[in-house]
Amino acid sequence: MINGEKTLDRPIRWAMIGGGRGSQIGYIHRSSALRDHSFELVAGAFDINPERGKDFGISIGVDPDRCYPDYKTLFAEEAKREDSIEAVSITTPNATHYEICKAALEAGMHVVCEKPLCFKTEEAEELVKLAEAKGLVVGVTYGYSGHQMIEQARQMIIHGDLGEIRLINMQFAHGAYNTAIEKENPAIKWRMNPQFAGPSCVIADVGTHPLFLAEAIIPDFEIDNLMCSRKAFVEERELEDNAFVIMNLKSGAQATMWASAINCGSLHGQKIRIIGSKASIEWWDEHPNQLAYEIEGEPARVLERGAAYLYPEALAEDRISAGHPEGLFDAWSNLYRRFAIAMDLANKGEKANFWFPDIHAGAQGVKWVEKCVESADQGAIWIKY
């Protein structure tokens, strides 16, 4: 992939819904999608305020005529064009993902959707069916999974380097909401409001990230039952700011999750440790170019992105040689590149023979949050998955 700036014969015509001025998430979507000429940004409904959205679109080079006031107009107007968009990224507030994703699929668009895909399993299943019926690609931006060391972890599991998988310990535990900052910071306020955030705060907001890492890395990651204890430690919070989940997998393995927003002093604290009968691996998103590899009875090793001893699949998307740190933008670019190839294949009636966080991943996240909440709200009891 090094220097493979061009992935497709022509870029996919692409629009954004949301992600306008001042949106960090909008920037990372654009920066990643446009990185290697896989997508061309030709339209958008960038802002709930139409004028501000149009102004923003123009500022980043979008044709003013294709800067739409809202997503409905966007789909309607684009449908009339020969050079209509083929794909759309949804970076609007969580509570709107379902309806926009549904509308996009109905309009025949491929979709890249911010997580969560939606709030309810029935909605997720509806979207899955719709996408499958239409042969459309839906990518969900579990962005951390685009780091190459995640692919290395996956290949190590597949090749049996760890032996039989026994434990998967996951955490995404930051400390940013250790006080009631939502009272002062509107950008955070919605996260504690079920109307906008859905039924959970940290389980959904951060917990689903390492959950997807586990799913991506471990091919037979299937939950049999789980129990979840959640709690709001900061007074007056409607949604939990900390949760522990224990899961029994169908394979006989066990998994744990710690999702938190009150882990003082931690920036992200997103880690996944996978323990097999022979060895363990551990990855930390704040230092994504490294993967700890600990074979029992041998000295602990640290694997480095780009190193020749990695599996070829883990080298395939490198943009620069080992030692030079790649960051989150590079991980996202890798995912957007896979989205593009998958969309291009779908346009030709073919299926991608590689993994990416797709609609099933999105639906899985929705179901997992639902089950965690169900368990927690009944007193942290065991729930069949």
266 scored as a contact of a second copy (CB under 8 A): yes
Measured from the CB atom, the residue of 354 and 382 that comes closer to a second copy is: 382
What the block records as the tokens of 155 is: 């290949």
265 scored as a contact of a second copy (CB under 8 A): yes
Which candidate, 174, 92, 130, 149, places its Cα nearest to that of 292? 149
Position among 63, 83, 122, 298 found at the interface with a second copy (CB under 8 A): 298
Cα dihedral: 45, 190, 94, 223 (round 10): 160
Measured from the CB atom, the residue of 2 and 79 that comes closer to a second copy is: 2
Give the number of residues in contact with a second copy, rule: CB under 8 A. Answer: 88
What the block records as the tokens of 224 is: 């049999």
Which candidate, 22, 27, 10, 98, places its Cα nearest to that of 333? 27
Q: Give 85's contacts (C-beta < 8 A, 6+ positions apart).
A: 13, 14, 15, 42, 43, 78, 109
Residue with tokens 């926009």: 100
Return left, alpha or beta for 191; rule: phi > 0 is left, psi -120 to 50 is alpha, else beta: alpha
Q: State phi, psi for 279 to the nearest 5 degrees.
A: -155, 165
Position among 304, 345, 352, 367 found at the interface with a second copy (CB under 8 A): 304
Amino acid at 285: D
Position among 80, 186, 195, 308 found at the interface with a second copy (CB under 8 A): 308
Q: Please give the residues from 270 up to 289 whose contact with a second copy meets the rule CB under 8 A.
A: 275-280, 285-289
31 scored as a contact of a second copy (CB under 8 A): yes
Asked if residue 265 lies in contact with residue 281, where contact means CB atoms within 8 angstroms, the answer is no
59 scored as a contact of a second copy (CB under 8 A): yes
Measured from the CB atom, the residue of 43 and 363 that comes closer to a second copy is: 43
Position among 246, 316, 345, 352 found at the interface with a second copy (CB under 8 A): 246
309 scored as a contact of a second copy (CB under 8 A): yes
CA atoms of 282 and 294, how far apart (whole Å): 9
Region near a second copy per CB under 8 A, out of 31-39, 110-118, 207-215, 346-354: 31-39
Site string for a second copy, 310-339 (x = CB under 8 A): ---------xxxxxxxxxxxx---------
Q: Please give the residues from 123 up to 162 whose contact with a second copy meets the rule CB under 8 A.
A: 162
Output the smallest distance, CB 259 to a second copy, in A: 12
Site string for a second copy, 164-203 (x = CB under 8 A): --xx-x----xxx-xx------------------------
219 scored as a contact of a second copy (CB under 8 A): no
What the block records as the tokens of 168 is: 């998967």
Q: How are beta strands 254-260 and 242-249 bridged, if at all?
A: antiparallel
